[in-house]
Structure formats: C-alpha cells, structure tokens
A and B are shown apart, each in its own frame.
Chain A
Amino acid sequence: MKGIQLDKLKNEGPETLSLKERRQFLKFGLVVTGVFLGGSIFSLTSAQAQGAYRGGKVVPPAGQFPYKPHYTMVIRQGQCIDCELCMEACVRTNSVPAYGYRTTILERRIPNAEGEQERAFMPILCNQCNQPSCVRVCPTGATYKDATTGIVLMSPKKCIGCKTCMAACPYNQRYYKEEDRAIDKCNFCFDTKLKESGGKTTACSAACPAGVRIFGDLTDPETEAYKLIHTRGNVFWVLKPESGTLPNIFYMDATDA
C-alpha cells in the first residue's frame, strides 16, 4: 500500500483549517512545550548551574566558615619524601583493605623555568569539599556532610553500591569496600584517631615524620593550619578548583611556611 504522497498534494493554505484542527495543533504544541519545560525543572537544572565555583572564592573569609570545628588539612607538598608512613597509618587505623586506599601519594614531574623537571610528591585524600559532588549525587543520603564538622561521612548501611559518587568525585578518592558492601573513603579518622585524640589529629597527620600533613580547625586561630592559611604571603592552592567543589584540603610549598 502506498503512503501519503505529500509532494503531490496541493497546498490548501491555512485558511482551510477548521477551528478544531487549529485548537488540536495548539494543544499539541503546548503539551510538548509544557512537558519539556516541566522536565527541565524537575531535572534539577544542569550540574554546572549547581556548581560551587563562585568567582574564585576558594576559601571563605576568616570567621565565615560554615562549621565549628571546621576541620581542614594543609599539605606542605615540598616537604613530602614519599615515605608512605601516612598511608600505612591510615590502613592500620581504619582497616583499609589491600585492594583499596583512603589516601595515597602521587609523584609529579613539574617543568620549571629552566626547562628541567622538578620532582614532587603530592599526597591526596578526600578533600572534604564544602560543595561535594559525591553527596549531591547519592540517591539515599548514604554519604553526607556532618552537620557539625563538615566532614564528608559514609553511612554504609544506606549505600546501594551504585558507584555514582565514585564517578562524580573529581579526586578519585572513593572505592568500594567489599567487607562493608559499601563505598569507603577518608573521613579524617572521624570514628578512630580523631575521636581518640579529642579532635586534634588524624592517623596520617600523626604519622608523618616530615610535618607535611597539618591537620587543624579553620575556626580556631590557635591551630597551625589556621595560622598557615591566614599568614599573609603564604601561597596555597586546592586541587581542581574548576570542579567547583570548594575543597578543605590546601596545598602549599614548604618554603612558604
């Protein structure tokens, strides 16, 4: 059977359309538009619009931190010698299995002005972001920001293992822990060393012989981390600021301190 031969039909013009047909056409258009717009609203708009990168304000001004205590870590990158004692302490303290890690050290070759390459070691761990993409994507609230300290925590019993948080983390700081049947990550030793030390230190920070990992409280001017960050002239940076996650791990060269 032949289909409609549109090219052979005579143009009847819009004036021949009945009122009913016009209404039907308008209704169709309105429905399609309405559904598309409605869908856009329900899709929670784009992730970029939800991003936390606000004109380069990586660190909030002193006195305006949203948590108290607001835990942070300053990493004096230039002092790291890659002894990995921090990693060992983390594994021991937090029962990290051999196939995963909560913190690691990356080796970098950074080109300098003379065209040579400088060797540097960059410890990385969960950045305990102020705007964590992992928390936003979790469908069951299994990963969340602790309301008091701002530490990004896990509630393993709620984790469905969709691994969206792993995909969303710009720092690759999450892994699936089979023993818990849930995602595991650095939590600043929230339930282990931090608790034992009365909120003063973490396992990796305590184990570091070179004073690389300085754990502290951004709301407490007496902590070393606070002093380092708020000392005029000190240059520090965060990893992947373009992700808009507002990290709480700050990097600086040892020579600045």
Chain B
Amino acid sequence: MNFYTNTDTSTLPPMNQILIFVGLTLICVIGLAFGLHTMLVGHHHTLGTTREVPWGLLITPYVFFACLSTGLCMISSLGQIFGLDTFKPLVTRTVFLSLIAMAAGLLCIALEIETPWRVGYYALFSPQPFSNIWWKATIYSLFTVFTICNFLLLMIRREKFARVFGFIAFAVVIIGNLNMNSDMELLGSRGFWSEGYMPLYFLSLSALTGCAAILLFNWIGSIFHKQSLRSQDEKALLATGRLFFVLLLGISYFTIVKIMGGFVPKFTNNPEAMALLVQGDFAKNFWIGEVGLAVLLPLALISLTKGKNVIVLALAGISCLIGAYVLFYDLVIVGQLVPHFQDYNVVDLPQYYSYSPSLHEIMISVGVTFFFLAAFIFGEMLFKKIYIHDQYNI
C-alpha cells in the first residue's frame, strides 16, 4: 500500500480537529519541559522524593500506562488472536491505544530516572538477569517493537502476519505485567507489595483499565468525528461493557481484601501501611478514589442502565480510569511511608514518613498524560479509515 497517494487537501482533517491536537500537544510540551528542566538541574532540586521515599508520583503514570497498555493488548487480542467476532471492530484502534499507552509509560519512566542516557548501553552490555527491573524494561521495549509491527501490518492489511506479532506482544506484555509485582515486592522490609494476590490483582486491574479506556476513547472518537457509532462498534462496546462489569466485580473482591487488611492486621503482610491507606492520611484517596471512583460508581452506572448505554459506559470508564490512577498512586507511595526502623524505638522517628509531590512531578505527569491524549487525537486524525476497515478484514 502506498501511503503517499491521498495527499489532496480534501483528506486533511478539519481545522477544529487540528486545533484540539495542537492544544493537547502544547500542554504536553509544557509538562515535558518540566521534565527536561528536572533532568538538567537534578532531581534533588525539583522532585519531592527523599532518601526515605525514593519513588514518588512519577512512578504512578508509569505503572498506570504500562498496566493500561497491557489491558488494551489483552482486549485487542480477544478479537485479533482469539477470533471473537464481536471484538473485531475494536482491534486496530485498541492496538494503537496500547502502543501509545506504553510509549507514555516509557516516556514517564525515562523522565523519572536520573540518568536515562545510560539505560540503553548498560541494559544491553551489563545486563543483570536477576533484576525484575531489567526484565521489565526489556520486555516492555520488546512489546513496543512488536506492537509497532502489529499496527503497521494492520495498516497494510496483512492481518495474518499482524496476528503473529499481536500474539507475541500479548505473551510478552503479560510476562511484563507479572514482573510488575515481583520488582515492587522488593521494597526492603516493606511488605505492602508482597500480598499473595498481587499478580492476579495487577492482571485484573490491567484488563479493567483496558476495558475502561476502550469504552471511553471509542466514544470520544465518535464525538471527535461527529459521527454516531456504527452498529458493529456499538455491539463491540456493549460486549466490552459486560466484560468491564465482570472485572469490576473481581476488583471489588480485592478491594474488600484491602479493607479487611486495613482494619484487621492479621489479614495483611503490612498492617501499618494498610491502616494508613484505609484509616489514615490516605483514607480519602482510598475511599473516594479506589472504592468510589474505581469500583462503586462504574458498577452503579452500569447497573442502572443495564450496560446498554454507550455514553454511560464511557462515563463509567473515565470514572474507573481516574480511580485506578489514584489506586496506583497509593500502591506506590503508601508502602514506602512505613519507617525502616519502626520497631527499634528510635527517638524522633515519625510514625510514618511523609511525601508530597512537587510541582515538577505534577507537571511531568500532566505532560505524559497529555502526550497520550495528543497521540490518541493524532491517531484519530490519521487512521480513521484504518479503524473503520477493521470490521471487514480481520
């Protein structure tokens, strides 16, 4: 297929679409400028992280987007790899979303680490195979390559080859997701991450955020193009909505386990952290974000409309995504706030360490999020015809 044939002005996106893209890109650039500034002057001067709490807000978008990408890949695989007809109309847009989500995650972690320019060389020439971080960086980089191949092959309508790359990307990203728990689990004596249910929790969360993003961004796509959803798309979204509902029930179970851990110490490996989350300074985050926005509101919205209203499903999706973001923030931060020598009767040791994100951390997170949004709009402007093509050829 020749991509350079349709270059007459009639195929250019409308001006308002371009303006939206430019606006989003501008916010992204401003956010990333804070990242560049941080890189130049040193993290010590701009970030809120400390010796005691070395991982801050910037780990959250990384984990969020990596899990989102995993979830999107899982849902796209339903149509592309496992051949479920209902999900086929979603495949190409979902693969693209998965790709840009991972790119956003990698961009964020590149700005989070102090010397990202050393990563490529030393990860390759001085690898440490016992490090989950090394595995995860390698796996996610490979995933990005395979997903690019998958998307390019979908663009040129080589569905069979695309499916092969899609399958490899799917297998690889699930492995990466299972690694997520293992590397977080090594936070010293901080057992917050070492709960037995964590691997399954991460997978479920990934699938959940994947469904939420599909519901939201397909709806936004239809608004963006000022077109109502086609019947196949609507059918696919309703099916995704049902899957979303089941996953919400699954996540409810894990949330209940967290609540039990927060109130009854014997149900958790790290009662101090869980108490801080459920009853302490992070209680607002937990009850409003993790319980309300991530689980209860979406469940209520879907139940009230019996999962048959695409707009309500999209609203449930955005609520869940915001809640999941808060959830990942809590997951990263709370476990680190339990002091190292809390059992040693040390004088002047606080009950919990403190951490507040700095302006730079907030702006970098905003920049990365808007990178994702700008890339999505870019995709809508450029690949609209390819997205529509899905239903006929896979």
Task: List A residues at the B interface (Cβ < 8 Å).
Answer: 1-4, 24, 28, 31, 35-36, 38-40, 42-48, 99-100, 106-111, 117, 122, 133, 136-142, 157-164, 166-172, 174-176, 178, 181-182, 239-240, 242-243
Is residue B131 within 8 Å, beta carbon to beta carbon, of the partner chain? yes
Contacts A45-B182, A164-B133 supplied; 7 other A-B pairs, CB < 8 Å: A40-B178, A42-B178, A44-B130, A111-B345, A139-B137, A140-B127, A160-B116
Residue of B nearest to A243 (CB): B189
B174:A100 contact, CB within 8 angstroms: no
Complex interface: stretch among B96-104, B212-220, B230-238, B378-386: B230-238
**Chain B contacts of A4 at CB under 8 A?**
239
In the complex, the chain A residue whose C-beta lies closest to that of B136 is: A139
**Which B residues lie at the A interface, using CB under 8 A?**
42-44, 49, 51-52, 54-55, 81-83, 112-116, 118-119, 122-123, 126-128, 130-135, 137, 139, 170-171, 174-175, 177-179, 181-183, 185-189, 194, 199, 203, 231, 234-235, 238-239, 241-242, 307-308, 336, 340-341, 344-349
By the criterion CB–CB under 8 Å, are A158 and B126 in contact? yes
Closest B residue by C-beta to A121: B347
CA distance A3 to B116 in the complex (A): 48
Partner of B55, one of A163, A171, A176, A243: A163
Q: Is the CB of B308 within 8 A of A3?
A: yes
Query: In the complex the two chains form, what is the Cα distance from A242 to B113 in whole Å?
Result: 30
Partner of A100, one of B43, B51, B242: B51
Q: How far is the CB of B185 from chain A (nearest CB, A)?
A: 4
Main SS at interface, chain A: mixed
Which residues of chain A come closer than 8 Å to B132, judged between CB atoms? 43-44, 137
For A242, list chain B residues within 8 Å (CB): 189
CB-defined A-B contacts under 8 Å, sample of 20: A1-B231, A31-B81, A35-B171, A44-B132, A100-B51, A109-B347, A111-B345, A137-B133, A139-B128, A140-B134, A141-B122, A141-B128, A160-B114, A160-B118, A160-B122, A163-B49, A163-B113, A167-B188, A172-B341, A242-B189
Contact B344 A122 (CB under 8 A): yes
In the bound assembly, the distance between CA atoms of A48 and B184 in angstroms comes to 12
Shortest C-beta distance, A212 to chain B (Å), equals 17
| Complex: A11 Cα to B114 Cα, angstroms | 59
- A3 with B307: CB separation less than 8 A: yes
In Å, the complex CA distance between A28 and B77 comes to 11
Residues of A within 8 A of B238 (CB): 1, 3
A108 near B344 with CB under 8 A, answer yes
The 3 A-B residue pairs with the shortest CB-CB distance, nearest first, are: A161-B114, A139-B134, A39-B178
Asked if B82 and A28 sit within 8 Å, CB to CB, the answer is yes
**A122: chain B residues within 8 A (beta carbon):** 344, 346
Min CB distance A5 to B, Å, is: 10
Task: Report the minimum CB–CB distance from A221 to chain B (whole Å).
Answer: 32
Task: Decide: A43 near B346, CB < 8 A? Known: A167-B54, A167-B55.
Answer: no
State A157–B125 Cα separation when bound (angstroms).
Answer: 13
A128 to chain B, nearest CB (A): 16
